[in-house]
Amino acid sequence: MSQAPLPVLLIHGAWQGAWVWEDFSPLLADAGFRPVAIDLPGNGTDDTPAEKVTLALYVEYLRTIVEALGGPVAVIAHSGGGVAASALAEAVPQAIRGLVYVAGMMLPSGMGFGQLVREALTEHPEAAGISPHLIWSADRLTSSVAADAAIRHFLNDLPRDVAARAAARLTPQPEGGRATAPHLTQDRFGSVPRLYVEATEDQSVFLYLQRRMQQLVPGAAVATLATGHAPHVSAPKALAEPVIAFLRGL
């Protein structure tokens, strides 16, 4: 009897949705995996009210997906989705075969990305990335990204017309799901194999921030791509190569 394909849960980053994996998912399927791209609560097409969105809600939702899939899964998370992926691995390490961070926030326990950025600002003032360009709702529960800023910081390695079409698909991001810090332990989160895919031309989570996270949370295998912040959008085939090799080794 043939073995069922390993489900691979695909977690988008801030201001994004399941759509960002459209070109990458078929490559996983062709390699014998079962890609499962989701919208986190309050993101993409999901209509959860922003005031209800928290990291705990993300993890609760992801756990229901994992349980519905009926067995161990692998997880690929982009950018801020890395926080939710880490927290999921802490919650149900026995259900997570491996974690892949794509220019992702692989943060140590108790540290938010904002703290990492603040520590870098003295030597790297550009580390603020997209933050100075955010457009806030009146209640400051959500933020949005203007198209020009998204093209410059997220999609800089795409032709401008293609980048503009992707930027137009971005949606407001609930702050309760972005300004979060995971609480992790070595026995749980630390027991899950990890791959960190770093993007050398990233203008959002700059390479020195990616490598600082690798120092702070050691133990991940590393692959390096000469892409911007979203290689699953700009260079899906290049991303698929190290990711599929990692998944096959789990």
- Indicate whether 29 belongs to any domain: yes
- Indicate whether 1 belongs to any domain: no
Average pLDDT of the chain, as a whole number: 96
What is residue 130's predicted lDDT score, i.e. its pLDDT?
94
Residues 182-204, mean pLDDT to the nearest whole number: 97
- Indicate whether 2 belongs to any domain: no
Residues 104-112, mean pLDDT to the nearest whole number: 96
In this structure, the number of other CB atoms found within 10 A of the CB of residue 165 comes to 13
Give the confidence band of 2 by pLDDT, cuts at 50, 70, 90. low
Give the confidence band of 84 by pLDDT, cuts at 50, 70, 90. very high
What is residue 103's predicted lDDT score, i.e. its pLDDT?
98
Residue type, 96: I
Judged against a pLDDT cut of 60, whether residue 132 lies above it is answered with yes
Which domain, by its residues, includes 29?
7-248
- Indicate whether 15 belongs to any domain: yes
Please report the beta strands in the chain, taking only residues with DSSP state E, as ranges in sequence order: 7-11, 34-38, 73-78, 96-102, 134-136, 142-145, 173-174, 194-199, 221-225
Judged against a pLDDT cut of 80, whether residue 120 lies above it is answered with yes
DSSP string for residues in 12-33? --TT--GGGGTTTHHHHHHTT-
Judged against a pLDDT cut of 70, whether residue 131 lies above it is answered with yes
Q: Kindly report the backbone phi and psi dihedral angles of residue 92, in degrees, each rounded to the nearest multiple of 5, phi listed first.
A: -135, 65
C-alpha 125: how far from chain center: 23
Q: How far is CA 113 from CA 2, 33, 78, in A?
A: 42, 31, 14
Q: Which two tokens stand for residue 127?
A: 């580390």
141-150, 161-170, 175-184, 225-234: least confidently modelled range: 175-184
Give the confidence band of 227 by pLDDT, cuts at 50, 70, 90. very high
Split into its structural domains, the chain has a count of 1
Q: Angle at Cα 246 formed by Cα 245 and Cα 249, nearest 5°?
A: 90
Give the confidence band of 234 by pLDDT, cuts at 50, 70, 90. very high
At 62-72, the pLDDT tens digits run: 999 999 999 89
What is residue 193's predicted lDDT score, i.e. its pLDDT?
98
- What is the rounded distance in angstroms from the CA atom of residue 180 to the CA atom of residue 173? 13
- CATH number of the CATH domain containing 108: 3.40.50.1820
**b/e burial code for range 170-183 (CB count within 10 A of at least 16 → b):** bbbbbbbbbebbbe
Residues 211-223, mean pLDDT to the nearest whole number: 98
* SS3 label, residue 117: helix
- Indicate whether 160 belongs to any domain: yes
DSSP string for residues in 155-183? -TTS-HHHHHHHHTT---EEGGGTS----
At 163-189, the pLDDT tens digits run: 999 999 999 999 999 988 999 999 999
